[in-house]
Amino acid sequence: MSELDAVPRQALAELLLTVADDEFVIGFWDSEWTGIAPMLEEDVAMSSISQDEIGHARALYELLAGLTDTDADAIAFGRPAADFRHAALLNHARTDWAFTVARRYLYETADAVRLAALARSSYAPLSELVTKMRREESYHLLHMDAWLRRLAAAAHDRLASALERAWPDAQAIFTPPAGEAALLEAAILPDPFAALHERWLGQLRPVFAELDLPIVSAAVPSDGRTRRTDDFAWLHGEFTSVAGSEAGATW
């Protein structure tokens, strides 16, 4: 699709950046559990999931790099914090295990809806990549579903309050990238994000009702992918500390 017009090309770049940054940032936060998770078995599992996310981010950044004539590491490590486009849900620090489970469950379910749509994208390199990603993501979803149910049964209040905290910013996963209209017109994005949001809520409602978990009323914020926090500024400082320590150095 090298013959892409400038308008959908720019919009595609924005779309790729939102998905890639989501995967990159959640992968970074949760990789912090490596070595200190609640149980050794879960430590290994959560680390695998984080590594999968970083791997997905790398593949998406590479796709984007091909469109914008740069390289994946430059996109990942060479941008100021303000240029990241991840959803506000991922602005929060790792926090505790309840928040990690709550955030991951909301993220995995929302991501599954988004990827199911992108698997039908008219832009073949994206639909092919997403098909591969979904194989790993379906395992993440099973794993987080098991944790959600376990904590709902054994630590209900902790989980419920973590979900209440994560919920408003989770809506930002469906904040559309700039240029959504052009993406829809070119069928790069088969469904509008507003429809994906409804689909996601439709899937969550029965699960939350079954487990007696709260759904807070919250709209999709228009600034959901541009708002940044001190937590993220700290994380950005960490992951650029070596990469940005000497101009021109290779690591």
Partner 1 sequence: MNETERAEAFYAHVGSGGKVEADDWMPDDYRAAVLKFVEMHANSELMGVLPEREWILRAPTLRRKLALTSKVQDEVGHAQLLYRVAEDLGKPREQMLADLMAGTTKFHNVFHYPTRSWADVGIIAWLVDAAAIVSQQALRDSSYAPYARTMKKICWEESVHIMHGRDVVLTMMNGTAAQRALVQDALDRWWGPLMQMHGPPTDPSKDKDLHWRIKAKGNEQLRQEFLSIYVPRIRELGLRIPDSELEYDEATGRWHYTEPDWDELRSVVTGHGPKSQERLAFRRFNHGQTQWVRDAVLAPAAAAA
Q: Which residues bind partner 1 (CB under 8 A)?
A: 28, 31-32, 34-41, 43-44, 47-48, 50-51, 54-55, 57-58, 61, 72-73, 76-77, 96-97, 150-151, 153-155, 158, 235, 238-239, 241-243, 246, 248-251
Nearer to partner 1, 128 or 238 (CB): 238
Q: Give the nearest distance from C-beta 45 to partner 1 in angstroms.
A: 10
Q: Which residue has the tokens 């999709």?
A: 220
Alpha-carbon span 27 to 208, nearest angstrom: 25
Q: Which residue has the tokens 């990942």?
A: 76
Q: Give the nearest distance from C-beta 178 to partner 1 in angstroms.
A: 25
3-state helix, strand, coil in the chain (%, to 5): 70, 0, 30
Q: Give the nearest distance from C-beta 29 to partner 1 in angstroms.
A: 9
Nearer to partner 1, 89 or 151 (CB): 151
Residues 105 and 144: beta-carbon distance below 8 Å: yes
Residues 152 and 101: beta-carbon distance below 8 Å: no
Nearer to partner 1, 146 or 218 (CB): 146
Task: Count CA atoms within 13 Å of residue 13 on its CB side.
Answer: 15
Q: Give the nearest distance from C-beta 127 to partner 1 in angstroms.
A: 22
Q: Give the nearest distance from C-beta 226 to partner 1 in angstroms.
A: 23
Nearest by Cα to 100 from 59, 39, 147: 147
Alpha-carbon span 219 to 174, nearest angstrom: 10
Residues 47 and 32: beta-carbon distance below 8 Å: no
Nearer to partner 1, 208 or 239 (CB): 239
Nearer to partner 1, 6 or 36 (CB): 36
Nearer to partner 1, 95 or 226 (CB): 95
Q: Give the nearest distance from C-beta 240 to partner 1 in angstroms.
A: 8
Alpha-carbon span 145 to 102, nearest angstrom: 10
